[in-house]
Structure 1
Amino acid sequence: MFNAEKTKNEIVEWIRDWFEENGKGCKAVIGLSGGKDSSVVAALCTEALGKDRVLGVMMPNGEQFDIDVSHKLAEHLGIESIVINIKDAYIGVVSQLEKNFERFEGQAKVNLPPRLRMSVLYAVSQSVNGRVANTCNLSEDWVGYSTKFGDMAGDFSALSMLTVQEVKAVGRALGLPSIFVDKVPIDGLCGLTDEDNLGFTYEVLDKYIREGVCEDKEIKEKIDRMHTMNLFKLQPMPTFQYKPEK
């Protein structure tokens, strides 16, 4: 049985220890999307470091229909927050790519905003003596529902070993209101939920990850296929092991 309170306390202590060794006095810089993961990470960092050492960064690409949730989270936690719109940068990069490639579309185009956002986060972090918080969870990473060098990047990761259900439980243990924990994640591109895009629920995925049980054979095969295809995202960069001659 997952002990959310115990896990929450352990993560808070881990964040404190990590900053003591890797960023004493530094701020935690977190990209606030309005979703459960960034909300829980922000709350964990606030409890671990204090509200004065947490900076939330909102990075809409033009208009973002649910950005008010991020504003409410920052207000609820009492942390500083800023808005940096990536629209101009996105349009500029896309324009240059379309000049060089006849068809710039698909995943290459979809993954560009998260990578631009991570560049912004590191620019902000270096400007405020900060450390960038990764906000990925185990469930999304397991099936590759995350962007390499985008939301998968960061200096420290509090949730990457927790499933979606466990992240939500930690959020409740932190006392976060339901609007931040139970908000249905939407991809922000075509209006579909994450689960619509994946073709299965996080509840099914989480059970398979933790218990190895999936009653639907087709879904099990799909999860296995996605996991295998995306393992390269989770592994260290392959490096040629040169050995100088003696």
Structure 2
Amino acid sequence: MKQLISYPTFNAEDDKQKIIVFLQNWFASNGPKAKAVVGISGGKDSSVAAALCVEALGKDRVVGVLMPNGVQADIDDARCLVEHLGIQYRIVNIGTPFKEMLKALQYTEVVNNNNFYFSVTDALLQNLAPRLRMATLYAVAQGVPDGGRVINTCNRSEDYVGYSTKYGDSAGDVAPLAAYTVDEVLSIGQTLNLPSHLLRKAPSDGLCGKTDEDNLGFTYAVLDKYIKTGSCEDKETKAKIDHLHNSNKHKLELMPMVTR
């Protein structure tokens, strides 16, 4: 579960420093020599998270992992980020594992006629790749010298409406951006002197060919305002945000367990 850290006021420079100190303290207790392992998509969140890790730990303790599913149209943006930061990286193409997993899921071995009905749904297709990517990040974390810690790159806006995959991009060991809305992440990114095209590109999950805002049905500007002020002029949009928030709370909670 992510432990959200909220601050009464926001100042991009001040909060950047708070995150840097937070990361330094967290790694001091949870891996004094460990590397920060960051999945690099070429978007604002992974760019800002990776840059913050570089500021906190130094570029020698940050590794980027680029994970296209076959062909990734904006792979050059991901390369631009790791080269800009000067961090080590490797490309792990999940295209073949993705296809093989689909084949394995659909393979049927008749055993006493006990097979159950199974279909490849849109939700399965959209969530399988993020889960394979998270498995890849943890494999890398276990394989790098001195070990690694996986950086969660989700922001507060995405978490609020559950716009992430459980045990996929919603997972990780530490979440430096979880307290910050999209507009705040952009402001922090500007203080880190990141290439503007990485910060301003339309957010996309890279799964279905649509932007985040197309999928959500409202803009991050509307969502950010609602999160911070409780104000949303459009009743239908407010109802949709509330529904997404309430139905996706489980993604941020500990797994329920029986108490004794």
Give the structure-1-normalised TM-score.
0.96
CA separation in 2, counterparts of 1:102 and 1:225? Answer: 28
CA separation in 1, counterparts of 2:203 and 2:106? Answer: 30
CA separation in 2, counterparts of 1:135 and 1:56? Answer: 12
> What is aligned with 2:35?
27
> What is aligned with 1:217?
235
Q: Deviation digits for residues 83-106 of structure 1, max 9, x if unmatched?
A: 000111111110111225542122
Which amino acid is 1:146 matched to? S
> Of the candidates 86, 99, 117, which is equivalent to residue 107 of structure 2?
99
Deviation at 1:2, TM superposition (A): 2.4
> What is aligned with 1:124?
140
The reply on whether 1:236 has 2:254 as its aligned counterpart is: yes
Deviation at 1:140, TM superposition (A): 0.7
Deviation at 1:10, TM superposition (A): 0.5
Q: Deviation digits for residues 65-120 of structure 1, max 9, x if unmatched?
A: 00100101111001001000011111111011122554212212210000000000
> Of the candidates 73, 76, 81, which is equivalent to residue 65 of structure 1?
73
Which amino acid is 2:12 matched to? A
Query: Are the counterparts in 1 of residues 38 and 150 from structure 2 also a CA contact under 8 Å?
Result: yes
Which amino acid is 1:56 matched to? G
Which amino acid is 2:257 matched to? T
| Secondary structure of the structure 2 residue equivalent to 1:11 | helix
| Secondary structure of the structure 1 residue equivalent to 2:132 | helix
CA separation in 2, counterparts of 1:65 and 1:35? Answer: 13
CA separation in 1, counterparts of 2:205 and 2:185? Answer: 19
> What is aligned with 2:55?
47
CA separation in 2, counterparts of 1:204 and 1:175? Answer: 26
Percent identity, aligned pairs only, is 56
Q: Deviation digits for residues 218-241 of structure 1, max 9, x if unmatched?
A: 000000011111111111110101
Which amino acid is 1:233 matched to? K
| Secondary structure of the structure 2 residue equivalent to 1:111 | helix
CA separation in 1, counterparts of 2:200 and 2:167? Answer: 27
CA separation in 2, counterparts of 1:52 and 1:189? Answer: 31
5+ residue gaps in structure 1?
Answer: none
1:187-198 to structure 2, matched below 5 A, reads 187-198=205-216
Deviation at 1:180, TM superposition (A): 1.7
> Of the candidates 177, 182, 197, which is equivalent to residue 159 of structure 1?
177
Q: Give structure 1 regions of 4+ aligned residues with deviation exceeding 3 angstroms.
A: none
* Aligned residue pairs, count: 242
CA separation in 2, counterparts of 1:102 and 1:53? Answer: 43
CA separation in 2, counterparts of 1:187 and 1:146? Answer: 9
Which amino acid is 1:127 matched to? G
Query: Are the counterparts in 1 of residues 157 and 181 from structure 2 also a CA contact under 8 Å?
Result: yes
> Of the candidates 73, 79, 84, which is equivalent to residue 76 of structure 1?
84
